[in-house]
Structure 1
Amino acid sequence: MAILYWFGYHKKFDRECIPQNADGIAMVDMKNIRNYFVFSCLKNPSECQWSNKDSAFKERFNLSNYGIKMSDYLAFFHIENQPISQWFVSAEIENETAFEKTMNKAHFRKAKLQNGMVAYYSNSMNLCAVKRSSQILISNISEQQKHIAVNIAEDLFLKKLFLNAKQIEKTIGTQNAVTFWIKKNSLLEEDGILSLKLENNKITVDGQLKLKYKKESQFLQNPNALFSLGFDFKMIQNQNIIKRHSAKINKIIGFNLDSILANNPTKTEILLNGIVEKKDSAISYDYDDDFNPIKKVVVHTNREPSFYFSMQTENSKKVFNYLKTQNAIDNRNVFVNFPLATTKTSIQNNALTLEANPLKNRISKPSSSKIGYLQIHFNKLLPKDWLYIIAKNKNFKFLKPFESFEMGLSKKNNVGHFRVDLKTTKGKSLISVIK
């Protein structure tokens, strides 16, 4: 029993692996995840028959194959004022030869730095690694920004500027596969904790957050939409993500976003009902040897989005008129800055709406009151859609076996309740999908 406990449940956490300027942590309990798959295989042995291809998959996720020590916990952390998609993790090298072999095989470029540190970078994988002695820091950061990774490595390996362990003590020793810690910020009144658990046919994230903004709304929410998103714009209006990318947003939408923000936008919702196919026939004539006309019909198939966008403001008519003066809306009330489909613009219940290829039988109903929500039905994507998506980013291939993603933020007892469900395709267990 002592050996079983030590192997399966005894865990040790290195409290000197997170810098003090981290504002978000995903604490991955490696033994919890391993135990989940072990017990799943014992309960469903038929689903754990690993092929050669599956074995290769397992080998890729065995860190010891790359010369990196397998720890009980992996702490992925986010740094203040950095893009939300940019994360870091530190680890320990236990086999220098295997590590260098892995770097060479993956075509990482090696460069010596000051203070005995070495940097490795891969353009194809967009990964940066900074090593000092047996310590290593890894991040998905662009080459132009790799100096940020070097600075963080210096904070960890040289200056010893670690996060106070008391702040994250609730992420250690839990029953969760992953525990998220979010530092108090412009949206949270205090630090937040979220739990990720592995279940038979889904992955769930759940937790309570003390939000500064708690206003709930009733959204339209088409339950069968490919993609739907609803939130109150006031939540993000003054966030850095808007200010930092305002120029890029203005370029995409074709007008100044401040013209919308000046009218205090509130309830916002977008429904991507799906992709519709439109057939267009082109007729031409040719002639045979006797100069008899031969009719030729060429059918072109176009794919266009069917979507609905709505944003309430203090004076949506004023916004509508502004967009007309900017030639973003033509005389037919068509929003011309969206080239993928003819998009009609109108004012409904003091909300600016954009709609393209509306459904004939719209299945939509007001949702229960909530602060915000996000819903994606992966099963509505066609194989050609997946080919396009995966070509853009190979990491999205992970989502292909899943049926739906649902995220909701509501208010219970004056506290924000956050929940995410990532469900597998019907009839498939989580272990059969991940392996």
Structure 2
Amino acid sequence: MKKKYIVFIIAILLSVGTYFLFFYKDKNLKYIPENADILILVDVKKATRQYIFSFLAHPSKWFEDGKKDKNKISVSDSGLEIPDFIQVFHLKDTKVSEWYCVLEINDKAKLSAFLKNRKFVNAGKDKFKNNQLFIKIEGEKCIVGTSDLNIKNIGKPLSETFKNKKLNADSFVNDGLGSISFISELRTQNFSIFINDDEIEIKNEQNKTDFSSLISDLLTKAQFLETELNEENVKKIASVFNKDLNDSVSVNHLRIRAELAQVNDTIISYGYDDNFNEIEKISYQKIIQPNYHILMQTSDPDKTWNYFQSKKWINDQNQFTVIPFQPNLISKTENQISIKSTQSPIKLNENRKQNFIFIKNNALLYSSFKTLSDSDKKFFNTIEYIFYGNKNLDYSVKIKFKKDQYPLILR
């Protein structure tokens, strides 16, 4: 009988331990500032469970840990407290590329060793940076950002706006591995994040639209980029980059098609011969150039044209200078404005009467980015396509990766 009681107690203890280790979550969000307009949450324990299940289902992965760099200090041993919900936010009126996260420090000595191990350079005043991230230490807090331009502008916690009422993760995360939330004074829009075997999918709650047939068709017909957006989608996407752009341009419908090509670029230079006569030298290099056609339908093309001219985006040869790739021609009719590359003109595909952005990976694309490291090029090479789709109130984003022996969370 005693053995049964001992086994029973052990089973209870293991169950309780498993619950607190993998399921119990502190859902309090302490460091979301009041001036945040976009919030990304990652459910760490749910991600851990998904990783463990995938790891156990792929025995060949078990023996790869020994091949990793053992001198590299892991984030789990960095001296930082990893919360149950990692909170990454964007601040109002800052660049799209600026994102921040606030973490608590539980061991400053470990954190110092971690920063040195990961090649962070001391920039003074408790600031550190490497090629990708900036870190600012403020007392027992560590602010991590993709930029240091607005670290000082991070506002007081949003919870203080609600008289210190705890901000709960359930307000943002539904059934996904995480969420992306767009915060405004009127309402908050939540989109769930799912990591599947070969794709990352982001979609709003109760999304019932299936874009798979559209994606399959685009995969067979699109070579690089194809886009079709109505007025509402143009406004939303334009506001991310320039809030005043859409009001000035007034685009009712947008269609884009682009293809990539490798061409020989002529380089002309001058030198001197033995008699000091100037001679012309011609050489060639291979460069990547897109061929494209952009069609903007507008109820007031004159307004759009005048706006482009006021910004000096149209030169005397009627070239749209915002696009730096090869000569193009911009033209205007009674209800639309067209921008075409002139070297190898292409035609738009049929009007699908749907809202989407589709970018298909092309080896020419990442090979042309000479500033990318080998690891970055390798990562971009694993992407098959990126898709954005909208129908009525349903929104979906998919980042599809090429098939691999392991699911995405193990790579």
User: Normalized against structure 1, the TM-score is what?
Assistant: 0.69
Q: How far apart are residue 306 of structure 1 and its match?
A: 0.9
Going from structure 1 to structure 2, the CA distance change for 1:33 and 1:262 (only over 3 Å counts) comes to closer
Counterpart of 2:105 in structure 1 is: 93
- 1:324-339 to structure 2, matched below 5 A, reads 328=314, 330=316, 335=320, 338-339=323-324
The letter for the 1-side match of 2:329 is K
Secondary structure at 1:267 match in 2:
strand
Cα distance in 1 between the residues matched to 2:50 and 2:239 = 38
In 1: Cα distance, 2:189 partner to 2:307 partner: 41
User: Secondary structure at 2:20's aligned position in 1?
Assistant: helix
Q: Distance in 1 between the 2:309 and 2:87 partners? A: 50
CA drift at 1:352: 1.0
- Structure 2 counterparts to residues 119-130 of structure 1, below 5 A: 119-122=126-129, 124-130=131-137
Which residue in the other structure is 1:194 paired with? 191
1:274 aligns with 2:264: no
How many residue pairs are counted as aligned between the two chains? 370
> Equivalent residue of 2:229, what SS?
strand
Q: Which amino acid aligns with 1:181?
A: S
- CA change 1:346–1:166 in 2 (3 A) is same
- In the TM superposition, residue 196 of structure 1 has moved relative to its aligned partner by 0.6
**Secondary structure of the corresponding residue to residue 14 of structure 1:** coil
**Alpha-carbon shift at residue 107 of structure 1 (Å):** 1.6
Letter of the 2:143 counterpart: L
Q: Is 2:50 the counterpart of 1:36?
A: yes
CA RMSD of the aligned region, Å? 4.2
Change (3 A) 1:147 1:317: closer
CA distance in 1, matches of 2:97, 2:337: 31
Alignment check: 8 A CA contact 1:424 1:430 kept: no
Cα offset for 1:344?
2.9
* 1:390 is the counterpart of 2:401: no
Among candidates 133, 148, 151, match of residue 153 of structure 2:
148
Deviation at 1:341, TM superposition (A): 1.3
Identify the match of residue 201 of structure 2 among 193, 200, 204.
204
Structure 2 gaps of 5+ residues are 1-14, 208-216, 269-281
Question: Is the 1:204–1:420 Cα contact (8 Å) retained in structure 2?
Answer: yes
C-alpha contact 1:378 1:404 (8 A) present in aligned 2:
yes
Residue type matched to 1:265 in 2?
V
TM-score between both structures, scaled by the size of structure 2? 0.73
- 1:135 is aligned, of 131, 135, 141, to 141
Task: Show the 5 A alignment for 1:30-429.
Answer: 30-50=44-64, 54=68, 62-104=74-116, 106-111=120-125, 119-122=126-129, 124-132=131-139, 134-142=140-148, 144-149=149-154, 152=155, 155-156=156-157, 164-165=165-166, 168-171=169-172, 174-184=174-184, 190-208=187-205, 223-232=221-230, 235-236=235-236, 239=239, 241-242=241-242, 264-278=250-264, 301-316=286-301, 328=314, 330=316, 335=320, 338-347=323-332, 350-356=335-341, 364-370=349-355, 373-381=356-364, 384-385=367-368, 387-388=369-370, 390=372, 398-411=379-392, 416-427=393-404, 429=406
Aligned to 2:35: 21
Distance (Å, rounded) in 1 between the aligned partners of 2:153 and 2:107: 26
Are the counterparts in 2 of residues 236 and 242 from structure 1 also a CA contact under 8 Å? no
Q: Distance in 2 between matches of 1:28 and 1:425?
A: 24
Q: Distance in 2 between matches of 1:182 and 1:263?
A: 25
Cα deviation code 1:86-123 (max 9, x no counterpart): 22222221212111233455222342xxxxxxx32326
C-alpha change, 1:346 and 1:48, in structure 2 (3 Å) is: farther
Aligned-residue sequence identity (percent) comes to 15
Stretches of structure 1 that go unaligned for 5 or more consecutive residues are: 112-118, 211-219, 247-256, 283-296
Deviations 1:160-212, CA, capped at 9 Å, x for gaps? 9887546753335x442112222236xxx6321111111111111111599xx
